[in-house]
Chains A and B, each alone.
Chain A
Amino acid sequence: MTVNWNRQNYRGEIPEEHPAVLALRRDKASAVLEVGTSCGEVWAVVPPEEAVAALTLLRDDPALQFDFLSDLTAVHWPHRAGAEFEVVYQLYSISHHHRFRVKVRLAEGKSTPTATGVWATADWLEREVFDMFGIVFEGHPDPRRIINPEGFEGYPLRKEFPLEGRVRW
Chain B
Amino acid sequence: MARQEIMTINMGPHHPSTHGVLRVILELDGEVVVNAVPDIGYLHRGVEKLSESRKYLQVLPLTDRLDYIAAGSNNLSYILAVEKLLGIEVPRRARYIRTAIAELFRIASHLLWLGTHAADIGAVTMLMYTLREREDILDLIEETAGTRMMPTYFRPGGVARDVLPDFTEKIKAFTRKIEAKIPEYERLLTKNRIWMRRTQGVGVISREDAISLGLSGPAARGSGVDWDIRRDEPYEVYDELDFNVPVLPEGDIYARYMVRLEEMRQASRMLKQLAEGLPEGDFIERAASKYVYPEKDRVKESMEAMIHHFKLVIEGLAPPAGEAYSTIEAPKGELGFYIVSDGGPKPYRLRIRPPSFVNLQSLLTMCKGNMVADVVAVIGSLDIVLGEIDR
Contact = CB atoms under 8 A, between A and B. Distances in A.
Interface of A: 1-3, 5, 7, 38-41, 67-71, 73, 75-76, 88, 90, 94, 97, 99, 101, 119-121, 123-125, 132, 146-149, 156-157, 161, 163
Nearest to B212: A120
Contact of A41 (B48, B53, B325, B334): B325
Nearest to B390: A147
A7 B234 CA distance: 10
Interface of B: 40-41, 44, 46, 48-50, 53, 84-85, 87, 89-90, 92, 95, 209, 211-214, 225, 227, 232-233, 235, 237, 322-325, 327, 334, 336, 338, 340, 348-349, 351, 353, 357-358, 360-361, 390-391
A152 to B, nearest CB: 10
Given A75-B340, A101-B325, A124-B360, 7 more contacts: A1-B92, A39-B84, A70-B336, A94-B211, A94-B225, A124-B361, A157-B49
Contacts of A119: 212, 214
B277 to A, nearest CB: 13
A148 B44 contact: yes
Given A7-B233, A120-B361, A124-B357, A146 B323 contact: no
B235 A39 contact: no
A39 to B, nearest CB: 4
A147 B212 contact: no
B314 to A, nearest CB: 21
A102 B92 CA distance: 34
A67 B87 CA distance: 29
A70 B322 contact: no
A39 B87 contact: yes
Contacts of A68: 211, 214
A18 to B, nearest CB: 15
Nearest to B37: A142
A75 B321 CA distance: 14
Nearest to A37: B322
Contacts of A1: 89-90, 92, 95, 237
Nearest to B321: A38
